[in-house]
A = this chain, B = another copy of it.
Amino acid sequence: MIKIDFEKMGGLIPAIIQDHETNEILMCAFLDEKALNLTLETGKTWFFSRRRNKYWMKGEQSGNTQDVLEVYTDCDADTVVIKVKQNGGAACHTGNRTCFYVKWEDNQWVEHSEPLFDPDEVYKK
């Protein structure tokens, strides 16, 4: 029976969040066993914040929750891919559709930010 390997990285695994229709990668965050179980049980994505040292449901502040549609792990069971329906359009706390809006171009990182919401309004309630 396959079990997720949380030991390799001190209890955490990367979780790649992908749009279920376009396969666009929306974000990458970290899960521990409890956050993975919460995600599988509730059908919403839950993460563990390394910075804030707490569990959080994606969208708990912004309303931009993610409905979990499919979950995959890989050949050595140390990463998960979660296919979601992104509610509210934007996954990133900057208001962008995806967190990956910074592209390597001409030997530097270039921002292509097109926010769908104003983070100052959404997070400073």
Interface residues of A (CB under 8 A from B): 1-4, 8, 14, 16, 18, 22-25, 27-28, 40, 50, 70-77, 79, 81, 92-94, 96, 99-104, 107-109, 111
Contacts and interface: CB of A to CB of B under 8 A. Distances in A.
A22 B96 CA distance: 22
Closest 4 CB pairs of A and B: A23-B23, A74-B99, A2-B109, A71-B104
A116 to B, nearest CB: 14
* Interface of chain A, main secondary structure: loop
B79 A28 contact: yes
Contact of A100 (B73, B94, B103): B73
Given A1-B108, A23-B23, A27-B74, 14 more contacts: A1-B109, A8-B50, A14-B79, A16-B28, A22-B23, A28-B74, A40-B104, A40-B107, A71-B103, A72-B103, A73-B102, A75-B93, A75-B99, A76-B99
